[in-house]
């Protein structure tokens, strides 16, 4: 097995992807960011644009109309998008690191042939795991799957499901055998048009408001046996493994967010004048920006390291948890400090600083809270200690 590429070294293909996505974000996404946040609605024209650039199927093989890229490619794309709008980055992240990954790894040939071309060309897949009584305890699921002569019947209610309003497909986790506890959890691919599946109330969120977060209701949804993803009772394994990868994606979103906030603050500091000179000329502002840039770079290296390890087939669970934990801290701190650099203008919506600040908070909560990441890190270190 070859050694991973050095963290700071990007190949020509990776550099081209990064620059292409940055340009796309600046030209195509940036004009809609403020309105999408205000309306709490994703601009529909962006989904076909993301698909045409290959960003909805980065790891999907070319034979299924995908880009045929790597996990690290997906991380670079999420980071670049988040510097402009973390909401758009979240859509691309969930599509690639959670949904597509699950179908690639556990889907049957027929499922891959059916769904992957559609996902690559513009259909969104939403990851439906969380419930009212199943947050950090993600496997205390109450949604039930009941066997039928032709397949299964789903009944229950999911909460906090990202991209639910835009999704054409749902990756749903339900318990097929409650007596077996988490060993009864099973995964299903459920089209949004399935009778009995309805999208409920959309949450009125603090941040990442353009990305829809809704309840999803299953009222005796009849699905065929071919909707089963993996094996019966394998849902726990599927959910855990893709979430480990997804946490690296959230790390990429958070370092992109932090970089975007820092970029705006640095530009503002060069323009804003006080006491006869730009505030960037004051040592206090210089030191703040220098310290924040150092933290962003440290967080970026953690994200890249975890992603490189994943692509190289090396263990990465500890690194993914550390990445999620640390990047959420850095993003929140950077966004907060950038509001202060903007001063009073940072507290109003005419400027971008307050949006980055609002968007950053979710980083410590979704796809595993900070406390859950610490628990994972501690558990991993007890069984697989890092040796000098």
Q: How far apart are CA 94 and CA 30, in angstroms?
A: 20
Domains for the chain: give ranges and CATH numbers.
Answer: 12-123 (1.10.540.10), 127-233 (2.40.110.10), 236-383 (1.20.140.10)
Joined together, the tokens standing for residue 33 give 């960011």
What's the confidence (pLDDT) of residue 140? 83
1 pLDDT higher than 60: no
Joined together, the tokens standing for residue 194 give 């399935």
Q: Give the pLDDT confidence of 160-202 residue by residue, as tens digits.
A: 999 999 999 999 999 999 999 899 999 999 999 999 999 999 9
What's the confidence (pLDDT) of residue 133? 87
Question: Which of 2-11, 148-157, 169-178, 328-337 has the weakest average pLDDT?
Answer: 2-11
253 pLDDT higher than 50: yes
Positions annotated as catalytic residues are 367
What's the confidence (pLDDT) of residue 3? 47
Q: How far apart are CA 337 and CA 332, in angstroms?
A: 9
Q: From the CA atom positions of the chain, what is the Rg in Å? A: 21
Residue 261 CA to its chain's centroid (Å): 18
Residues 6+ apart with CB under 8 A from 246: 93, 94, 97, 98, 367
Q: Give the pLDDT confidence of 31-90 residue by residue, as tens digits.
A: 999 999 999 999 989 999 999 999 999 999 999 999 999 999 999 999 999 999 999 999
385 pLDDT higher than 90: no
Joined together, the tokens standing for residue 34 give 């403020």
What's the confidence (pLDDT) of residue 388? 56
Q: Give the pLDDT confidence of 6-16 residue by residue, as tens digits.
A: 566 899 999 99
Q: Give the pLDDT confidence of 298-322 residue by residue, as tens digits.
A: 999 999 999 999 999 999 999 999 9
What's the confidence (pLDDT) of residue 137? 78
Q: 247: pLDDT confidence band, cut at 50, 70 and 90?
A: very high
Q: 2: pLDDT confidence band, cut at 50, 70 and 90?
A: very low
Q: 387: pLDDT confidence band, cut at 50, 70 and 90?
A: low
What's the confidence (pLDDT) of residue 138? 66
5 pLDDT higher than 70: no
Average pLDDT of the residues of the chain: 95
What's the confidence (pLDDT) of residue 164? 97
How large a percentage of the chain has pLDDT more than 90?
A: 93
Closest alpha carbon to 73 in 249, 268, 262: 249
């Amino acid at each position: 097995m070859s050694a991973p590429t050095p963290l700071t070294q990007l190949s020509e293909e990776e550099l081209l992807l990064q620059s292409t996505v940055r340009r796309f974000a600046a030209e195509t996404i940036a004009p809609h960011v403020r309105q999408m946040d205000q309306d709490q609605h994703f601009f529909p024209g962006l989904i076909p644009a993301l698909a045409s650039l290959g960003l909805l199927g980065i790891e999907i093989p070319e034979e299924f109309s995908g880009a045929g890229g790597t996990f690290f490619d997906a991380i670079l794309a999420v980071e670049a998008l988040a510097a402009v709008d973390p909401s758009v980055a979240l859509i691309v992240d969930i599509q690639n690191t959670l949904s597509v990954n699950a179908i690639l790894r556990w889907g049957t040939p027929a499922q891959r042939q059916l769904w992957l071309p559609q996902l690559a060309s513009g259909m969104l897949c939403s990851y439906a795991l969380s419930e009212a009584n199943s947050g950090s305890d993600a496997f205390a699921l109450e949604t039930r799957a009941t066997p039928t002569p032709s397949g299964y019947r789903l009944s229950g209610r999911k909460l906090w499901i990202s991209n639910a309003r835009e999704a054409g497909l749902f990756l749903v986790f339900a318990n097929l055998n409650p007596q077996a506890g988490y060993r009864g959890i099973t995964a299903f691919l459920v089209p949004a048009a399935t009778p009995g599946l309805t999208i409920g109330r959309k949450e009125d969120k603090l941040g990442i408001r353009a990305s829809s977060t809704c309840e999803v209701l299953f009222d005796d949804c009849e699905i065929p046996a071919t909707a089963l993803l993996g094996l019966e009772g394998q849902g726990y394994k599927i959910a855990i493994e893709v979430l480990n990868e997804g946490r690296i994606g959230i790390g990429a979103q958070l370092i992109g967010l932090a970089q975007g906030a820092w970029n705006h603050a640095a530009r503002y500091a060069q323009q804003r004048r006080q006491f006869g000179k730009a505030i960037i000329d004051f040592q206090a502002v210089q030191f703040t920006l220098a310290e924040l840039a150092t933290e962003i770079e440290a967080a970026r290296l953690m994200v890249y390291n975890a992603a490189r390890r994943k692509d190289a087939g090396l263990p990465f669970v500890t690194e993914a948890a550390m990445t999620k934990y640390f990047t959420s801290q850095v993003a929140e701190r950077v966004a907060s400090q950038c509001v202060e650099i903007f001063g009073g203008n940072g507290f109003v919506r005419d400027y971008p600083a307050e949006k980055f600040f609002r968007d950053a908070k979710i980083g410590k909560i979704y796809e595993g809270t900070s406390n859950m990441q610490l628990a994972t890190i501690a558990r991993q270190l007890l069984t697989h200690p890092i040796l000098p």
